[in-house]
A and B are shown apart, each in its own frame.
Chain A
Amino acid sequence: MNWIRNAAIGLTVAICASTPSFSNEIGNAADGEKLWGECKSCHAIGKDAKNRVGPHLNGIFGRRAGSEEGFNYSKGLARMGKDGLIWEFDLLDRYIENPKAFASDTRMSYRGLKDEQKRADLLAFLRRYSDNPGDIPEAAPTVAGTDHDVDPSILAIQGDPEYGEYLSSECTSCHQLTGDNDGIPGIIGWPAEDFVIAMHAYKDKYRPHPVMQMMAGRLSNDEIAALAAYFEAVEP
């Protein structure tokens, strides 16, 4: 299902950080550079890049989430890093598609980039500044990203909040209804769509936490929708 894991292994890639030129790129880095304009008010990249409002993005591919020394990450991203999340193409792709859905409490106030081609372009640009693009697909990714999003028909399911309330009792053994965020993140009052995307990210094992992967793994699409509908309406 996930093309990146099947990407040609052992392809040797010549790297040249200053004037990179790749064949068979996943996106068009020149177009990506234009999109970068929006990112650079907060992020720096390239020679001497420093952390600013956001962390610098040199070497972002292969970097552990939340690990850039001296940068104050949101708890959620830091936790994902501890849980073992390493930024690779598919995860970065999901993250910039909808940052809040990927990491609920991320401080990156960016609404996300829905257009798949544009994301590919932007990532093609970013990867030029990573030393280790060996784990980036070099084969022509004709199917790039098609399985990333949650199917619109899943997002369209209207959850039954009453059922959600019953199911929620499984969640509240750990997550507090006050929305308290200590050690275990708060999950109330999220937009239902973000909740659904996040749960499917666990179900598909993009989000790394084993308890949540297990919990989400056994929930049906209807049950996830029901929980999303219920929790959306809970106020602290």
Chain B
Amino acid sequence: MKINRRLFMGGAAAGAAATTLAAPMVHAAGHGKPKVVVVGGGAGGATAARYIAKDSKGEIEVTLVEPSRSYYTCFFSNLYMAGFRELGSIAHSYGKLASDYGINVVHDWAIGIDREARTVSLAGGATLNYDRLVLSPGIDFVDGAVDGWDVTHQNAMPHAYKAGSQSELLKAQVEAMPEGGTFAMVAPPNPFRCPPGPYERISMIAHILKEKNPTAKIIIADPKEKFSKMGLFQDGWSRHYDGMIDWIGGDFGGGNVSVNPHDMTVTIDGEVTKVDVCNVIPAMKAGKICDMAGITEGNWAPVNPHTMQSRVDENIHVLGDASSQGDMPKSGFAANSQAKVAAMAVRSALTGSKLFPAKFTNTCWSLINDNDGVKVGASYEATDEKIAKVDGFISQVGEDAELRQATYEESVGWYAGITSDMFG
């Protein structure tokens, strides 16, 4: 066994101390347990860290690297904008992962990966050794994707596609819109995080506007000709928000867009519109750390569907939005599902535990209006080439109000379920 360098703190006692890690303390560990480093404490990473720690029963040392002390779920952040959830109810801390599962939680950024040496370097200066590395860094935006916009404009024109302060900002801007004002959204091209997400957001914003500012207008410039649950959303929009929402799809120039954050204008297919709020959701790519690790092809990191191992480096597993895996949408449910397959594969590789065939599932619920919930979902299995869809279902137009309410209530149950599956 070679000498590894690792963070001084480990084991169950590390929790409280790790969260206040000020200066990195590094020491030479002798021989010891196999080490897993997980980068990113979101839907994929938190789940993977928890399952590896829980199921290896102390045989594997798990370190979770995540800069934020509170994780705000993107899921239900749209409901927060409509006032159906409090912001605090979508925030989660890493305390239990440290105290109950013995995970070494390090609040820092991973800024470099040396695949040869199997180390991760952190912005704070520390270096972590790994036997297996799990990357679940979510998404970043493609530079120059929307003409006139870059992240320096995210205050004037928020994306709110990473939850937290951006969600608060967008909500505040919508609430401050002048009477009869205009809200614009620039929707992203495929593939992107949460295919129904922009359209659920439109629904939720229409919901508040209808209450507080019923003469306001919503415009969506969309490069796509179709979107997830389109029939269900359009039916809902005409039932609840008739005449308020104008969706301009790719076939009508919706992809030919530029924005000007200084004078708050949006130009769609040559036509300039002055707007009051502009939600720009640019094209996406895997979180930057994947690029730094050199495991991306194009914008995403391809993986082996049986284990979620990178196609480029078998010591690295990539989960969730950052991976390109085949048929699964980029969702929290999917990231959570993939994390369990990866956790099993990591344990099997490091401790020889049983490896069962990979199975995946996804269900995405969306809320269209008060108690008007819909869902779409599918089950998947691993083939050598990709994660392949096996079977699926989708809510139907014309379902009665009771079923829609039950579907919404189910989503609330799911939220409680998945967040306790992630954070313990």
Contact = CB atoms under 8 A, between A and B. Distances in A.
- The answer to whether A and B interact is yes
A217 B392 CA distance: 11
A106 interface: no
A79 interface: yes
Contacts of A173: 333, 336-337, 361, 414, 417-418, 421
Interface string B351-383: 000101001010100000000000101110000
B238 interface: no
B411 to A, nearest CB: 7
A214 B409 CA distance: 19
B227 to A, nearest CB: 21
A214 B420 contact: no
A148 B209 CA distance: 52
B172 interface: no
A176 interface: yes
Interface stretch (A14-22, A32-40, A164-172, A194-202): A164-172
Nearest to B339: A169
Interface stretch (B269-277, B301-309, B399-407): B399-407
Contacts of B421: 169, 172-173
B391 interface: yes
Contacts of B414: 173-174, 183-184
A182 B340 contact: no
A176 B416 contact: yes
A167 B414 CA distance: 18
A163 interface: yes
B417 A175 contact: yes
A184 B412 CA distance: 8
A84 interface: yes
Contact of B356 (A84, A166, A172, A182): A166
A215 B417 contact: no
Nearest to A66: B402
Nearest to A84: B403
Interface string A144-184: 00000000000000000011001101101111111010111
A177 B54 CA distance: 14
B413 interface: yes
Contacts of A172: 417, 421
Contact of B379 (A79, A83, A218): A218
Interface in B313-358: 333, 336-337, 340, 344, 354, 356
Nearest to A170: B361
Category for how many chain B residues contact A: 35 or more
A188 to B, nearest CB: 12
Contact of B391 (A82, A182, A218): A218
Interface in A68-119: 79, 81-84
Given A82-B402, A169-B51, A211-B363, A174 B418 contact: yes
A210 interface: yes
Interface size class of A (residues with CB under 8 A): 20 to 34
Contacts of B406: 79, 82-83
A215 B356 contact: no
Nearest to A175: B417
A173 B420 CA distance: 9
Nearest to A186: B413
A217 B403 contact: no
Contacts of B21: none
Contacts of B356: 163, 166-167
A182 B411 CA distance: 10
B291 to A, nearest CB: 29
Nearest to B360: A170
B410 interface: yes
Contacts of B379: 214-215, 218
A218 B333 CA distance: 18
A37 B305 CA distance: 58
Given A82-B406, A211-B363, A218 B390 contact: yes
B277 to A, nearest CB: 32
A71 to B, nearest CB: 15
B413 A182 contact: yes
B411 A183 contact: yes
Contacts of B392: 214
B372 to A, nearest CB: 13
Contact of B420 (A82, A163, A176): A176
Interface string B60-71: 000000000000
A103 to B, nearest CB: 14
A169 B340 contact: yes
A177 to B, nearest CB: 8
Given A163-B356, A170-B337, A214 B412 contact: no
A182 B356 CA distance: 31
Contacts of A167: 356, 359
Contacts of B412: 182-183
A218 B400 CA distance: 28
B393 A176 contact: no
Contacts of B344: 166
A68 B403 CA distance: 16
27 contacts: A79-B406, A81-B402, A82-B400, A82-B402, A82-B406, A83-B403, A163-B356, A166-B344, A170-B337, A172-B421, A173-B414, A173-B417, A174-B418, A176-B417, A177-B420, A182-B416, A183-B410, A183-B411, A184-B410, A210-B393, A211-B377, A213-B393, A214-B378, A214-B391, A214-B392, A215-B361, A218-B379
- 4 tightest A-B contacts by CB? A183-B413, A184-B413, A82-B406, A183-B409
Given A170-B340, A184-B417, 13 more contacts: A82-B400, A83-B403, A162-B354, A166-B344, A173-B414, A175-B417, A180-B413, A182-B409, A182-B412, A183-B416, A184-B413, A184-B416, A210-B377
Interface of A: 79, 81-84, 162-163, 166-167, 169-170, 172-178, 180, 182-184, 210-211, 213-215, 217-218
